[in-house]
Structure 1
Amino acid sequence: MASENSFVQPAIPRFNGHYDHWSMLMENFLHSNEYWNLVENGITAAVGSSKSSEVQKKTLDELKLKDLKAKNYLFQAIDRSILETILKKDTAKDIWDSLKQKYQGTTCVKRAQLQALRKEFEVLHMKNGETVNDYFGRTLAIANRMRIHREKMDDVVIIEKILRSMISKFDYVVCSIEKSNDLDTLSIDEVQSSLLVHEQRISQHVTDE
């Protein structure tokens, strides 16, 4: 029988170009392995010298070993092509700070990206021939990108957007959902399920004809 303390080691988050999302996952991963403080603050112990005590030297050696392990995690998370653009790789903090500087972007750029996402969300509407699942996928993808940019995006906002932007053949079920439920307590999955049932009925009706 497996030990009560055994657990599955979480996978190292791979950097895919979406820095904000990756850094959040990677920070959590490093926290869970007790390396984050070292990555965030660097090796702060005094450099060993003739005046350093044996305790200080031992602490520094331990920190260097721990830093090597943290660097190894970061190396595994980053493609070689990206790693080769980082000039200073002496410590885990050097690597982390370099990635942050390269990929996080300035406040101005991030604000512009969020504005573009807000506009994209505002004009969203279901296309003729698009399935319920496909439309939910498009909408949630934009909403999640907005959340990554620190936009407050409650589920009810997404639900209201979807309901008011469905094509006309869903008018009946949309009205039914709005009249029979408190949208503030309704989940996105529940709304999607109701619309999928209606979509299947429409499809079956067409087939029967």
Structure 2
Amino acid sequence: MADTFCSSIPIPTFNGDNYDFWSIKMKTHLCAQNLWDVVNDGYINPDDISTLSTAQKKELKENQQKDSLTPLALQMSLADTYFSRIMRAKMVKETWDKLKEEFYGSYKVRTCCLQTLRRNFENLKMKDSEIAKDYYSKIDKIVNQIKSYEDDVPQKKVVGKILITCTEKYDPIIAAIDESKDIDKLTAGELMGSLEAY
């Protein structure tokens, strides 16, 4: 396991911005190293190991090794400014939870952020000077931010948003797409491919 951890995979760096993106990347990194279960579930050191079976002792040893390797990854991912906030945490789950609480926010804060993102999504309209690809990038960014708050925007809604809010210069193209494609089954990526092809 230590050899796997010391592989050349770079550790995502957190400098105080975009916690939601960093946490997704860091979770993926820890999963790839087979370390995420200790972060997610934690583990308990039993007071008396003499009653444990051989398999349980082996599992405990693996968890202890993971619990010592995982803080290394988390500590290496943090800019020095943020390291002091987690350096006294005794277990890696506590470290992760502290970072999440500070940078991801409380339930109330996350709810407010999510409402703002939904409002931004609803109010977004294509500008006359924009091309379809740039407009889609804006929509996609908001959708991904909403997803990072563990909410979802169905593909059908994204497709509908693009079709309704494109500028008038795209009307003939949208009419052609509407006639030649099944809009209900169309993904946003396919729609953008069609807009760009026309």
* Aligned pairs, number: 188
Which letter does structure 2 place at the counterpart of 1:72?
L
What is residue 170 of structure 1 aligned with on the other side? 170
Within a 5 Å distance, the mapping from 1:85-100 to structure 2 comes to 85-86=85-86, 88-100=88-100
Q: Tell me how far apart the structure 2 counterparts of residues 67 and 117 of structure 1 sit (CA, whole Å).
A: 36
Q: Which runs of 5+ in 1 are unaligned?
A: 1-7, 199-209
Change (3 A) 1:147 1:65: closer
Which letter does structure 1 place at the counterpart of 2:103?
Y
**Deviation string for 1:75-99 (max 9, x for gaps)?**
1222111112335233322321211
Conserved in 2, the CA contact under 8 Å of 1:86 and 1:98? yes
Following TM superposition, by how much is the alpha carbon of 1:168 offset from its aligned partner in structure 2, in angstroms? Answer: 0.9
Within a 5 Å distance, the mapping from 1:111-126 to structure 2 comes to 111-126=111-126
Following TM superposition, by how much is the alpha carbon of 1:43 offset from its aligned partner in structure 2, in angstroms? Answer: 4.6
What is residue 3 of structure 1 aligned with on the other side? none
**What SS class does the counterpart of residue 184 from structure 1 fall into?**
helix
Conserved in 2, the CA contact under 8 Å of 1:43 and 1:63? yes
Conserved in 2, the CA contact under 8 Å of 1:88 and 1:94? no
Within a 5 Å distance, the mapping from 1:135-174 to structure 2 comes to 135-174=135-174
Which letter does structure 1 place at the counterpart of 2:114?
L
Conserved in 2, the CA contact under 8 Å of 1:45 and 1:59? no
TM normalised by structure 2 equals 0.79
What is residue 105 of structure 1 aligned with on the other side? 105
Following TM superposition, by how much is the alpha carbon of 1:135 offset from its aligned partner in structure 2, in angstroms? Answer: 0.7
Q: Tell me how far apart the structure 1 counterparts of residues 183 and 12 of structure 2 sit (CA, whole Å).
A: 35
Following TM superposition, by how much is the alpha carbon of 1:52 offset from its aligned partner in structure 2, in angstroms? Answer: 5.8
Change (3 A) 1:61 1:154: closer
Which letter does structure 2 place at the counterpart of 1:13?
P
Which letter does structure 2 place at the counterpart of 1:144?
N
Within a 5 Å distance, the mapping from 1:30-69 to structure 2 comes to 30-46=30-46, 53=50, 63-69=63-69
Following TM superposition, by how much is the alpha carbon of 1:10 offset from its aligned partner in structure 2, in angstroms? Answer: 4.8
Change (3 A) 1:150 1:62: closer
What is residue 129 of structure 1 aligned with on the other side? 129
Larger Rg: 1
Q: Tell me how far apart the structure 1 counterparts of residues 195 and 45 of structure 2 sit (CA, whole Å).
A: 60
**Deviation string for 1:79-121 (max 9, x for gaps)?**
1111123352333223212112212211111111111111111
Change (3 A) 1:174 1:139: same
Greater RCO (CA < 8 Å, at least 6 residues apart): 2
**RMSD across aligned C-alpha pairs, in angstroms?**
2.8
Q: Tell me how far apart the structure 2 counterparts of residues 20 and 64 of structure 1 sit (CA, whole Å).
A: 28
How high is the sequence identity, in percent, across the aligned residues?
30
Within a 5 Å distance, the mapping from 1:173-184 to structure 2 comes to 173-184=173-184
**Deviation string for 1:174-193 (max 9, x for gaps)?**
11112221112222222112
Which letter does structure 1 place at the counterpart of 2:13?
R
Following TM superposition, by how much is the alpha carbon of 1:134 offset from its aligned partner in structure 2, in angstroms? Answer: 0.9
Q: Tell me how far apart the structure 1 counterparts of residues 156 and 45 of structure 2 sit (CA, whole Å).
A: 50
